[in-house]
Chain A
Amino acid sequence: MFVNGILLLNHTNRIVIIATGSSTCAFLYDSTATDGINGSSVTSKANKKTQVSRTELITKSMQEFVSKEEEASKESSQIQYSNISGSLSMALCYIQRVLRGPLPHPQARILCLQGSPDAPYQYISVMNSIFSAQRNGVVIDACVVGSQHSAFLQQATHITGGIYMKPPQPDGLFEYLMMVFTTDLFSRQFLQLPRPVGVDFRASCFCHKKTIDMGFVCSVCLSIFCKHHQTCSTCGATFSRSNSTTVTGMKRKAPGS
């Protein structure tokens, strides 16, 4: 229903749906690929038929994907994380392809619907995707339907300028989606949208994984430590005992600038 709503708002709107599983990601639906079915019908009866076929298409491909996922994950019993970095990368590659095509270019947005918790080993890849999206002007919105907040998506929406929302009542998901995420970027300034919660930008140290607000950073590989070590565990560089950062003469000279 949500997909139909967006496609109805403007005839040039296009949607691509990508599914994220714990073992793989796949493109589920691309509105431009099935344009041949939708475009030519004129009568209302035929319209109803094409709308049904779009929903059917999406549900069919989702069911195929879910059954493949179930087979693949039968062996493992630990917490499954979803490969959000994989689908973000696929979405960004697709957006690049659209931006290489003929003008006028649509305004690109990514909406992430996430239920599972963040995978800590995906931190670097997710940050790479976020920076690439920021550079290309792609806005990432997030709607978290899981039980806990997602720090990755909070940072993604803050850096790219999108909306982060965790609906208090997941039953009313359609209403949240239609009210908040359907509007294009220009119209957003006129609407009262959910305000951003405080984003936690503190880093976590590589040795204990606890969040710190002051730490030591290796100058070679930028790994973060909470206390002074003799060698860096990531790059193997050895550190000398004296490493205090002093305020240099330049800064002392001009306090007012």
Chain B
Amino acid sequence: MMDMDEREVPLQLDFEDDGVEEDEPMADRGAFERQYADERSWEELQEDESGMLRVDVAQQQRQHRKRMSAMAGPRIQRGIIRYLFVLLDFSRAAAEMDLRPSRMGIVVDCVEAFVREFFDQNPLSHLGVILLKDGIAHQLTDLSGSPETHIRALRSNMESTGDASIQNGLDLARGYLTQIPSYGHREVLLVYSALSTIDPGDVMETVQECKKANIRCSVVGLSAEIYICKLLCEQTGGMYSVATNEGHLKELIMEHAPPPAAQAEMSVASLVRMGFPQRGAEDAVALCACHREVKMGGGYTCPRCKARVCELPTQCHICGLTLVSSPHLARSYHHLFPVSPFEEVENLASANGRQSLSKSCYGCLQELPTPGGKVKGVRLECPRCRQHFCFDCDNYIHESLHNCPGCESNSVILSQLSQ
């Protein structure tokens, strides 16, 4: 933080000494610098009489909400059926210890959490892992829908050697992604620790070919901002971010779990034929198609070819029909009907002419801040049902629950929604 202040002075005085980077205006700097540009939180600290720091809870909450609302966009079409390849850089640069325990270790931890969250939020999607090391790209796991396969394979292959090649990685991913059905959204997530790329040919050509093949490439960098990664993301419509610490890295990788906005070229809609199998009785014995063994009980029967599969969602191994259950589809419905963001209630004015503000949060019965009261913070109101909620409930409702308790309990609003 002190460096920021020191660097700003040379910007105005002498332009000849400093390198090319110093001449860039504030807007071109990385996102993490822009975030501090107008909120200098260190200057807002105040001390009370005994010398202890005074924390303004309401201010902190407002800043958090501003950050969150900047990320959430309006209701847009999202790519729900995704085919994503995760490219991991396991070159020499991944063995650096600047992030604990090592860059490779923290990346594998974050990617494991990401894989689980990805299948949680996108149950119909497929994921594959490619490793970049020794200048070549190895495909670790094929595009599949089971998180355990990927995590197990990742954990047993943790060695970092050689150099990373972006061109080879992208070419390999592109080879697989061009074979998938047209309704799927093609994506690549590259987690890059090195500062350079060693390629056999022209990496710009690869970038253009990815753009032509409609593959959305995003990069999460661990070391510094690299021009080729930035170009790749800009050309293909992906997101480029660079992590500053372990927590930030996890946040950036998790940002790619929810479905991204669908690009205009890719909005080819098609009706996909899917089967909804019934669960077999607990004492049925059958030969399962995925493991080629006799299995007792449970299992699902494909409605087209009557083969038994062990778990859902999957593709039937005999006839190729996509098999899902209705909860899997329901997991993605919250993207189609999101909860409208809550608005802050100004404490001083009485809300809508009502004489008394409600004392407790509608969702959790926690005490809400009132003018002159002991509890500090922000009070939030749902624009539809006009109920008041606390800051924590607002976070929980918008991030995890996707239901407003006030709107759900109000049958008038519900009957409007169902029409």
Q: How many A-B residue pairs have CB under 8 A?
A: 213
Task: Mark the stretch among B157-165, B174-182, B195-203 that contacts chain A.
Answer: B174-182
Complex contact B396–A93 (CB within 8 A): yes
Complex contact A222–B333 (CB within 8 A): yes
Complex contact A247–B320 (CB within 8 A): yes
Is B363 an interface position by the 8 A CB rule? yes
Chain A interface, >50% SS class: mixed
Kindly state the separation between the CA atoms of A243 and B81 in the bound complex, as whole angstroms: 15
Complex contact B411–A23 (CB within 8 A): yes
Complex contact A251–B277 (CB within 8 A): no
Q: Which of B392-406 contact A (CB under 8 A)?
A: 392-393, 396-397, 400-405
Is B45 an interface position by the 8 A CB rule? no
Is A183 an interface position by the 8 A CB rule? no
Smallest Cβ-Cβ distance to B325: which chain A residue: A201
Complex contact B330–A27 (CB within 8 A): no
Is B183 an interface position by the 8 A CB rule? yes
Smallest Cβ-Cβ distance to A244: which chain B residue: B273
Is B272 an interface position by the 8 A CB rule? yes
Contact residue range for chain B?
35 or more
Complex contact B411–A24 (CB within 8 A): yes
Given contacts A121-B418, A199-B279, contact A24 B410 (CB under 8 A): yes
Kindly state the separation between the CA atoms of A122 and B409 in the bound complex, as whole angstroms: 11
Inside 8 A of A94's CB, which chain B residues have their CB?
363-365
Complex contact A155–B327 (CB within 8 A): yes
Complex contact A212–B364 (CB within 8 A): no
Smallest Cβ-Cβ distance to B180: which chain A residue: A248
Task: Mark the stretch among A51-59, A123-131, A141-149 that contacts chain B.
Answer: A123-131
Interface residues in chain A, defined as those with a beta carbon under 8 Å from any beta carbon in chain B: 22-25, 27, 30, 33, 83, 85-87, 89-90, 92-94, 96-97, 100, 121-125, 127-132, 135-136, 155, 159, 195, 198-203, 212-222, 224-225, 228-229, 232, 234-235, 237-240, 243-251, 254-257
19 A-B residue contacts at CB 8 Å?
A93-B393, A93-B401, A94-B364, A96-B364, A97-B366, A124-B334, A127-B327, A128-B333, A128-B334, A203-B276, A213-B303, A214-B321, A217-B274, A220-B80, A243-B183, A245-B321, A245-B322, A255-B317, A256-B292
The 4 nearest A-B residue pairs measured at CB: A93-B363, A86-B409, A237-B269, A121-B418
